[in-house]
Amino acid sequence: MKRYLLTSLLALTISAPVSLSAQDEKEEKDTYIYATYFYCKTATQDKADELIKKNAAPIYDAAVDDGTISAWGWTSHHTGGKWRKIQYHMSDSVAGLLAAQETLAKRADEAAGGVDDGFAEICGAHDDYIWKVESGSGITDERASAGLSVYHVCSIANEERADEIVEKIFAPVYDKAVADGKIKSWGWSSHVVGGKYRRLGTMTGANFADLLEARGEILDAIYGDGENAEANEFSSICGSHSDYLWEILHNKS
């Protein structure tokens, strides 16, 4: 039995809450994430982190404070594929994401005063995705430093069924892991714009060792002896994936 863990980035520490009352559901706003996945030169990628901390972080932090965006973050590759860095920002609509992108770019240009800081030379290519948060544990006050991500390739015809299975079968197990202190947060997001990945899962923890141990316990709880028909159905819908471990270097909400 092949097991698939519902985890990934984007909102590594932030996701929409589940188990809401009818009134809360009515008032709860949607959450969208604009994520840029960078390809960087490994020899100089640490310099990119320094440039983000120095030049971008003050601008993005201020944008959270003034309501231009609801959250943002910067993460660094630990284990996985070719993506080396992620920068993301969040809003309650796709229009809000795109408007914020223009505003932030303008503010960055003004702050730079026409001087090229060399970031593009280090991280010269990227992939963009827009995600909609479907379910998860909500915002945590405890900042996590380790993130485990799974980017799923799913059948477009059946991917909404996968979301239903996550809500019914997976969410209670993940919520219990959060309540027990095994993980700090989890989330599940759907594709709006971007490449081949149709679904994104996120799980965060204090460190990679504890996070991976929790993952094993969660898989055992969900799949057990392999007889959970709906969990197996999920694996048939989202039958391919890419895993990443991310160091969460900065996030603000």
pLDDT of residue 20: 38
* Predicted pLDDT at 243: 95
pLDDT tens figures, 111-144: 998 888 999 999 999 999 999 999 998 655 456 8
Would you list the DSSP string of 25-61? HHHPPP-EEEEEEEE--TTTHHHHHHHIIIIIHHHHH
pTM of the model: 0.88
Task: Name the stretches of the chain with pLDDT < 50.
Answer: 1-26, 141
- If one counts every other C-beta atom within 10 angstroms of the C-beta of residue 145, the result is 17
Q: DSSP class of residue 220?
A: H
